[in-house]
Amino acid sequence: MLRRLAFIRASQSLGIPLTEIGEALSTLPQQRTPNEADWTLLAEGWREVLDARIALLERLRDDLTSCIGCGCLSFERCKIVNPADRLSVEGPGARRLMPGTTHAGYDAPKTKLS
């Protein structure tokens, strides 16, 4: 039980929604204490999703001082990658950083954790 609580708190601190944490925990055995193999299986199931989240965070860190497609047009690069705010037709926000969007060769990772 202690490990489950620690897992919940750690996951929440990373911004993972409780519903997704619950889904992950539901894969663990309920009739006995999960062992190392059970936790390894859970971790393997989350690896792709966590890797996508890490990639998105790294992209945010690296691209925040460039055009992110938000419509502000305050960077010289905006004139090249988002002329006349053409990305605004897709909705508000940093369109070049949104998961699952593709723009001018940019392919953001698709992730459930966003």
In a domain, 51, yes or no: yes
Under the banding of pLDDT at 50, 70 and 90, the label for residue 99 is low
Which pLDDT score is estimated for 108?
A: 42
Answer whether residue 114 is part of any domain: no
Residue 24 within any structural domain of the chain: yes
Indicate whether 95 belongs to any domain. yes
State residue 101's pLDDT score: 60
Tell me which residue of 63, 87, 92 sits closest to 75, measured CA to CA: 63
Q: How confident is the model at residue 19 (pLDDT cuts 50, 70, 90)?
A: very high
Domain enclosing residue 40, as ranges: 2-107
Q: Indicate the number of domains in the chain.
A: 1
Give a yes or no: residue 28 inside a domain: yes
Residue 107 has pLDDT above 50, yes or no: no
pLDDT band at 102 (very low <50, low <70, confident <90, very high): low
Per-residue model confidence (pLDDT) at position 109: 44
Find where tokens 């199931």 sit.
45
